[in-house]
Amino acid sequence: MKELICELEENQALSKEKWERLIKNADQNVANFLFERAVVIRKKYYGNDIYIRGLIEFTNYCKNDCYYCGIRKANKNIERYRLTEQQIISCCEQGYDLGFRTFVLQGGEDGYFSDEKMCFLIQNIKKKFPDCAITLSIGEKTENAYQKYYNAGADRYLLRHETFDEAHYGMLHPALLSAKNRQKCLFELKNIGYQTGSGFMVGSPGQTPEHLAKDMLFLKKLNPHMVGIGPFIPHHDTRFKDEKAGTLFQTLFMLGLLRLMLPKTLLPATTALGTIAPEGRKLGVLAGANVVMPNLTPKDKRKQYSLYDHKRCMGDEAAEGLQLLKKEMREIGYQVIIDRGDSLVSNDN
Ligand code: 5AD
């Protein structure tokens, strides 16, 4: 397996068969070797710098019904909320004072936030914080809408492809949604000029090494500026409530592989990773990650943005816990950086 890791480091690519073999045969010994290489490569491009993004979960209304997701439309057991524009701006103000220079506006697919409302919001945030980047994470829209947000000042867009394989995608989503449309959206976003993030869940129900191999091949082709991955975690109000969560080991392993395949990409150590293990995010950094996204959402709403059970949102996961996060990063030899932390990936493929 170590030869495959060396081949990956050298070529930044593997065949589908080799991806599958490597993913299937991962063990701690191979993983240690992988993490060592991943850290060397990450340091080559990003040194010891860790970038932060302030996450603002501004609405948990969603018109979609993704089977794994706690805020899906059919879930009648959660309390829905929307932040007002003023509340969103004050999240940004607090974030700015703490040192954030990127705001990630994440929400369900909520029709209340029309394109006009979104553009108005983006323009206002940009006016107030011209030195900050705005990232949107609001799902599948038309190319025209993506263009409008971009023209209004949005810089980046996060949209996980979730899983490349169509049949597997169909197991996780209602028939209205398709893997193909997701992928189309991602290429459109990149074409428009967004710094684009994609990604997938690790250990989602029905996922096989072959699916993960396909995810890697797709991401190679897309060459995104960021790749967000985290373990699948069951939510008690979904059909997958009794499924097993993705493991810490497999998530870290996939992070290491992503770092070698896309050396310059931004790789967050995600909240889901921090949720399944107390040291999850630290370990993520030690496997090749270089971004963390602390939560800037008003405290009383964070629990309601319940994509999965037991989501961590206080302590080092919270924006106000930034000192703690900085200390944790220092302990493993890294420093949290105050700047926009733009990706080194260029936009031409
Ligand atoms: N477990 C882990 N991640 C989840 N997401 C949604 N539901 C879950 C879950 N149950 C992830 C999806 C989505 C991102 C915002 O959160 O990958 O793209």
Mean pLDDT along residues 243-253? 98
Q: In what order do the strands lie in the sheet with 156-158?
A: 54-59, 102-107, 133-137, 156-158, 195-202, 226-231
pLDDT of residue 261: 98
3-class state of residue 191 by DSSP: helix
What is the percentage of the chain residues whose pLDDT exceeds 90?
94
Confidence of residue 266 (pLDDT cuts 50, 70, 90): very high
Give tens-digit pLDDT for 20-77.
Answer: 999 999 999 999 999 999 999 999 999 999 999 999 999 999 999 999 999 999 999 9
Which residue's CA is the closest to the ligand 1 atom numbered 18?
160
pLDDT tens for 291-343 read 999 999 999 999 999 999 999 988 888 888 899 999 999 999 999 998 898 88
| Token pair listed for 219 | 């991401």
Q: What percent of the chain has pLDDT over 70?
A: 99
Tokens of 77: 């057991």
Q: What is the pTM of this model?
A: 0.97
CA 10–ligand 1 middle distance (angstroms): 32
According to the model, what pLDDT value does residue 319 have? 80
Phi, psi of 147 (to 5 degrees): -65, -40
Q: Give yes or no for residue 73 CB within 6 A of ligand 1.
A: no
pLDDT band at 113 (very low <50, low <70, confident <90, very high): very high
Mean predicted lDDT score pLDDT of the chain: 96
* Phi, psi (deg, nearest 5) at residue 157: -145, 130
DSSP class of residue 113 equals S
**Burial profile 220-248: b = 16 or more Cβ within 10 angstroms, e = fewer:** eebbbbbbbbbbbbbbebbebeebebbeb
Asked whether the predicted pLDDT for residue 349 surpasses 80, the reply is no
Strand ranges inside 123-261, DSSP E:
133-137, 156-158, 195-202, 226-231
Instruction: State in Å: Cα 282 to ligand 1 middle.
Output: 20
Question: Considering only CA atoms, which of 95, 97, 37 is closest in space to residue 298?
Answer: 95
Where b means 16+ CB within 10 Å and e means fewer, 65-90 reads ebbbbbbbeebeebeebbbeeeebbe
Q: Specify the ligand 1 atom closest to the Cα of 158.
A: 18
